[in-house]
Amino acid sequence: MKYKKINSDIFVIRLEKGEEVMANLFSFCCQNNIKAGYLQGIGALEQADLALYDLKTKKYYNQVIAGPLEIANFFATITSEKIHAHIVVSDKDMQAFGGHLNSGIVAATAEIILRKFSGRLDRYKDKGIGLELMYL
Q: What is the fold, at CATH topology level, of the domain defined by 2-135?
A: 60s Ribosomal Protein L30; Chain: A; (3.30.1330)
Over its C-alpha atoms, the chain yields an Rg (Å, rounded) of 15
Between CA 25 and CA 41 the distance in angstroms is 12
**3-state SS assignment for residue 22:** helix
Contact in structure between 97 and 87 (CB atoms under 8 Å): no
Over residues 38-84, the pLDDT tens digits come to 999 999 999 999 999 999 999 999 999 998 999 999 999 999 989 99
What DSSP string runs through 65-102?
A: EEEEEEEEEEEEEE-SS-EEEEEEEE-TT--EEEEEEE
At residue 26, φ and ψ (nearest 5 deg) are: -65, -40
pLDDT at 59: 93
Percent of the chain residues topping a pLDDT of 90: 98
Write down the domain spans for the chain: 2-135
**Residues linked to residue 47 through DSSP beta bridges, in sequence order:** 66, 105
